[in-house]
Amino acid sequence: MTMRRWPLAALLCCLVLPAWAGPPAGSPPPGLAPERMAAYARSHMVAAANPLAAAAGRTILQAGGSAVDAAIAVQMVLTLVEPQSSGIGGGAFLLHWSAAGRELRTYDGRETAPAAAGPNLFLGADGRPLRFMDAVVGGLSVGVPGAVRMLEAAHRAHGRLPWADLFQPAIALARDGFAISPRLAATLQDDAALRADPAAGPYFYQPDGSPKPAGTLLANPALAATLQAIATGGADALHTGPIAQDIVAAVAGAARPGSMTLADLVGYRPQVRDAVCVPYRLWRVCGMGPPSSGGVAIAQVLGMVERHDLTAAGPASPDAWHLLLEASRLAFADRDRYVADPDRVPLPPGLLDRRYLADRGGLIRTGESLGRATAGEPPGKRADFAPDRSLEIPATSHMVIVDRDGNAVSMTTTIEGPFGSKLMVRGFLLNNELTDFSFVPEADGRPVANRVEGGKRPRSSMSPTMVFDRDGRLVMALGSPGGARIIGYTLKALVAMLDWDLDPQRAVSLPNLLNRNGPTELEMTPGAGPLADGLRRLGHEVQPMTAPSGLQAIRLLPGGGLVGGADPRREGVAVGD
């Protein structure tokens, strides 16, 4: 196969926004990048977490590539320039819309536990759960990576350009170097475990132990060689042979070793699953099903609040937010008890039953908070599980892409916490996704649905989402990183666009407000005081939130064209032609 070389200049040129632009979108809320306006395009668009990654995807679209082709290019560049969040050592969920076939397909590239892992994986010798960061650092937390196998399967079904061509932007950047971004530089501060890794330490840190500052030109020849091997040999180059052997050796040789074997890597298979879709007012909202809890939780919230008029209240209304926050409490209570890997723990079918959601929504009191909610008893429940209280660290990345034929991708991709397990192999970091399992396998004599089991996929909150109109046409695609807060971030942007008619940029810029069945978490921007006071009067314990979302969204305009938004809290951009 002839390999095409993509010069770095070709990438950088694509950072310039197209000359054609639509009308101004209005200013975002106070305190959140007032200069940020929505991006407009006629033909195709990419919104991603880093300008170089978005540029790589745009280059692929300009060359006639499909949305999946562009997603592969974006992911490979993110592995290099945003290594704290995602990469080829992790996993992903991908929603794909085929405009010609009018088909929505979801791809599950979630990591799996090694075959030898068991329910007591994160219990110490005393039978108590390990401290979270003690479990994260080292080989014990590393799941079998799934992103590359999943992308290969999606490319086989939906790709246009040759697989190898899609790696060339990332290979060129890894070989020639990229400027460390301010966000990456900030994330490197005070990470002693990353600094101690024999490969990651010299790569990210200076001889005196200080992190390399923003603007430093950072080349990664080891990653360039790894990407070239995958470009030539496909996912097998990662899951078999020397790279796989080095992954297994790093996991086994860590201070807290894991049990991953070559057989685990060879045997990994992505899954194609049914989307979770629910009607909501004039639209049909679709998301990822288990092992993601995101699609189910968002569907439940929408089902509970649909009977209320959120439009009239508006985004500044404590009463409107109260309804959303209380519904979220109820959805999280169900999530923590019932949602896990569907191949091991089937989802109760009644969780999305309209009557069940109406009954759950009836628990919401319009003038007073419920406090901590308890899980419901959905029709079709087959087992009695204990609630799960596992943590999810707010790292991860999201991209949305629409190609010239109207095909679309919404993909959330992750290695879990910042820099994953802190183990670097051949230029990329290994995930710590197994810490998304419950550390405690049972409680009060009942098993936890999300307990560790060999070959099982840990529950996730990743929420790639698409919305369709009554005629089945794609209206928008969106999603966010952010650990368990992903559900609230995505819900905020979704309601802002559907109920409050905000454009994608204003929707993602709106202050974040969410509830995970505990305190109500509010991003305290300068104008947030009255909303906080109103929620307190309704009985909410309001807790200031500083963790940044990383929302990306694209809306398809009825008359043709695209409008996109990227979260001003991170470094993402929306670009197109």
Judged by phi (left if over 0) then psi (alpha if -120 to 50, else beta), residue 240 lies in beta
Supply the angle between the helices 67-81 and 168-176 in degrees, to the nearest 10: 20
Instruction: Give phi and psi for 178, each to the nearest 5.
Output: -135, 155
* 59, 112, 187, 396: the active-site residue: 396
Spatial distance between the Cα atoms of 62 and 70, rounded to a whole number of angstroms: 10
Tallying the residues shown for the chain, one arrives at 577
SS3 515: strand
- Cis upstream peptide for 279 (omega within 30°): no
Spatial distance between the Cα atoms of 23 and 39, rounded to a whole number of angstroms: 10
DSSP letters for 79-147 = HHH-TTT--TTSEEEEEEEETTTTEEEEEEE--B--TT--TTTTB-TTSSBPPHHHHHSSGGGPPBP-H
Spatial distance between the Cα atoms of 356 and 401, rounded to a whole number of angstroms: 35
Record the tokens describing residue 401, joined without a space: 């892409």
Which of 65, 107, 155 has the alpha carbon at shortest distance from 413? Answer: 107
110 among the known binding-site residues?
A: yes
334 among the known binding-site residues?
A: no
460 among the known binding-site residues?
A: yes
The residue whose two tokens read 């991603």 is: 48
SS3 254: coil
461 among the known binding-site residues?
A: yes
Tell me whether strands 542-545 and 520-523 are parallel, antiparallel or unpaired. parallel
Torsion of CA 26, 28, 34, 36, to 10 degrees: -70
SS3 66: coil
SS3 48: strand
Q: Determine whether 311 is an active site residue.
A: no
Give catalytic residue positions.
396
- Give the annotated binding-site residues for L-glutamate: 110, 436, 460-461, 483
Residues annotated within a binding site: 110, 436, 460-461, 483
